[in-house]
Amino acid sequence: MRYHQLGTSQIEVSEIALGSWLTYGAGIERDKTEACTRAAFDAGINLFDTANVYGSGAAEAAWGEILKDFVREDYVLATKLYFPMSATDRGLSREQVHKQLDASLERLQTDYIDLYQCHRPDPETPIEETMEALTEVCEAGKVREIGFSEWTVEQIRASLEVPGTRDFVSSQPQYNMIWRAPEAELMPFCAEHGVSQIVWSPLAQGVLTGKYPPGRPPPEGTRAAHDEMSVSISRYMVDPVLEAVQRVAAVAEESGLGMVELALAWVLRTDNVASAIIGASRPEQVHANAQASGVELPVDVLDAVDEALEGVIITKPQLAAFAQEGVKHR
């Protein structure tokens, strides 16, 4: 497993991270969650990414029970806030930053979060208030570093211009060989300002494993066939995309690579990407994903991937689901 410095921070993260969206505390059982977590440690994974909203706190609580058996300094714990936790609790106000962080710390059974992330931008709250609150929790020792997910360049720039506050060190966008929207504006801006990418959905919700044949219903037991875990996979579950993925599978086979290995190595080829978040419901998936760390893809393979995916690649900047443009100032 290779490791990278996270932005301008002193935190080093593994190239492969374990995430808990749609799975731990919700989609799969406690014993499988523990087995996948232990497999991650065995594979050299040190970054564990969750959020307060995953399972309405259940994902954090599940990891709180499991991770307390490990040495706290041996892993990097990342969580998020923004999405509604009740009828009145949502967003990035000073009150919510403090309230949601304390609730996350309690569920995770820890004294501090290594990386506290704004799950989406909040244009209804002054950017100054959000950045000051995040700085307060850092100064209190409850948070080591801060990050964001799916912010626009305008919003990131505004955060950097708030005087006397901590800067973000990480960005968490959707990014994979089909969804390349971050390459247009986000990645160049972040690279210039010392912000690393921790990417989500590097396997396009599992579509880039090649397990979904075009023209057929999803195989039983897969994420796409699961009511709770199939959220947002629909954009990839269309025949033109699935047919293109089969062409990528042929490229992988010719190159002597597995599809998972190819897809993960593809996102990690970019210097600005520090880590790729994978989801797993079985320990063997964790180990298989971890093997992509350190794989270097030759130019001819990268060109072949581009050719195979021609016509289905998303390249222009896209506003993420539930994200909003704009910045509010005091």
Would residue 324 count as lying in a domain? no
Quote the mean pLDDT of the chain. Answer: 93
End-to-end CA distance of the chain: 45
Q: What is the pLDDT of residues 16-51, one digit of tens each?
A: 999 987 555 555 677 888 999 999 999 999 999 999
Q: What is the pLDDT of residues 262-320, one digit of tens each?
A: 999 999 999 999 999 999 889 999 999 999 999 999 999 999 999 999 999 999 999 99
Compute the distance between CA of residue 107 and CA of residue 100 in angstroms, rounded to an integer: 11
Compute the distance between CA of residue 292 and CA of residue 257 in angstroms, rounded to an integer: 10
Query: Which CATH number do you get for residue 48?
Result: 3.20.20.100
Report how many domains make up the chain: 1
Question: Are the beta carbons of 103 and 85 closer than 8 angstroms?
Answer: yes
The pLDDT value recorded for residue 30 is: 78
Would residue 220 count as lying in a domain? no
Would residue 153 count as lying in a domain? yes
**Domain span including residue 151:** 3-209+270-297
Would residue 227 count as lying in a domain? no
The DSSP H or E segment spanning 41 is: helix 30-42
The pLDDT value recorded for residue 230 is: 43
Closest to 14 measured CA to CA, from 291, 261, 266, 280: 291
3 as an active site residue: the answer is no
Q: What is the pLDDT of residues 282-293, one digit of tens each?
A: 999 999 999 999
Would residue 130 count as lying in a domain? yes
The predicted model scores a pTM of 0.94
Would residue 253 count as lying in a domain? no
Q: What is the largest CA-CA distance in the chain?
A: 57
Q: What is the 3-state secondary structure (H, E, C) of 131-179?
A: HHHHHHHHHCCCEEEEEECCCCHHHHHHHHCCCCCCCCCEECCECCCCE
> Pick the catalytic residue: 54, 82, 212, 236?
54
Would residue 116 count as lying in a domain? yes
Q: Which two tokens stand for residue 293?
A: 């760390």
Would residue 240 count as lying in a domain? no
Question: Are the beta carbons of 43 and 16 closer than 8 angstroms?
Answer: yes
Q: How many other C-beta atoms can be found within 10 angstroms of the C-beta atom of residue 296?
A: 8
